[in-house]
Amino acid sequence: MDSKNALGEFLRARRERVRPEDVGLSGGGLRRVPGLRREEVALLAGISSDYYLRLEQGRDRNPSAQVLEALARVLRLDTSATAHLLSLAQPERPAVSRRRVRRPEAVPTSVRELLDTWSGHPAYVQNRFTDCLAANALCRALSPNYTPGVNLLRAVFLDPAERELRRDWEELTAEGVATLRGHIGPDVDEPRLVELVGELSVRSDRFRLLWSRHEVRPMLGRTSLLTHPLVGDFELRSNKFEIPGTNALSMVVFHAEPGSRSAELLGLLGSLTASGPTPWREDSRAASDETPPEGNLRAANGEPSRRDDRRDTSSETPPE
């Protein structure tokens, strides 16, 4: 991750994903790289090849909005990706402004109280790096990874129990990485991000592939397909809400379709939770209780993230 040339990296990655036939060009002939050639992008965008080369190489980092919008059209970027492209070309901020002191991320007391009143709706709070900061009992019953101090993106990629839980694991991981990019924007040199991306890039082939695609998505709700060890297969819808007055914290709330089988199973899980600590797979309980090896990610409050690192799944790349 080259923070000094984020714009060039983005342009190159997205250029390589556009087929010549997608933009009305012939795809014949020998092509050394996938996607469009630099000169093809320049021609379609109405700029010189030399100027486009300077953009990719980071020798010109302040193109006009008109040039960027033309490139966005050629690269077939959607609204979110176009906004991301524009943000990458903002004038470089002074170095002192980038060396921000990491402030504690406090979840407002009223939000914590609200989480606890939702006995029928799993809910949690996360920061923009997907560190879990607060969660109610029913959310922890869904997965012990919904525990303050756990990085949820890291858990989804590296915890085998999470992959067993989520029938839509491939879709979820793709969305998670693209949403992370959308949250971070041009702040690719943020120490917390560098730490998280560095570890996941080393330990997960799947993450490394997704990160290299430079996809960007806004924070949206989704439907999760779950296979829970206690209640079986069910579906939960989720919505995300930004918490005003905080450092980009968001609250995620799950719910099942009223009257559905999923609603019944969620209610059953809730009754199990109300009767005491929810039993879980032995390896997941151990994962939440063990102290990780030195060097693991730390949560936003500076405490170690309690995850089970006994099994490395980095070589288990799922099919695309």
pLDDT in tens, 182-228: 888 777 788 889 999 999 999 999 999 999 999 998 877 899 999 99
**Hey, what are 15's tokens?**
């250029």
- Give me the chain's average pLDDT, please: 82
Q: Say whether pTM exceeds 0.75.
A: no
DSSP 218: -
Q: What is the 3-state secondary structure (H, E, C) of 119-183?
A: CCCCEEEECCCCEEEEECHHHHHHCCCCCCCCEHHHHHHHCHHHHHHECCHHHHHHHHHHHHHHH
Average pLDDT of span 22-40:
78
Q: What letter represents residue 253's amino acid?
A: V
| DSSP conformation letters of 228-264 | ETTTEEEEEEEEEEE-TTSSS-EEEEEEPPTTSHHHH
pLDDT in tens, 283-320: 443 333 433 333 333 333 334 333 333 334 444 444 43
Q: Three-state SS for 86?
A: helix
Judge whether 218 and 179 are in contact, CB under 8 Å: yes
C-alpha torsion sign, points 110, 116, 121, 127: positive
Sequence length of the chain is 320
Q: What percent of the residues of the chain are helix, what percent strand, and what percent coil, each to the nearest 5?
A: 45, 10, 45
Residue 31, pLDDT > 80, answer no
| pLDDT score of 279 | 57
Spatial CB neighbours of 198, under 8 Å, sequence gap ≥ 6:
none
Judge whether 236 and 224 are in contact, CB under 8 Å: yes
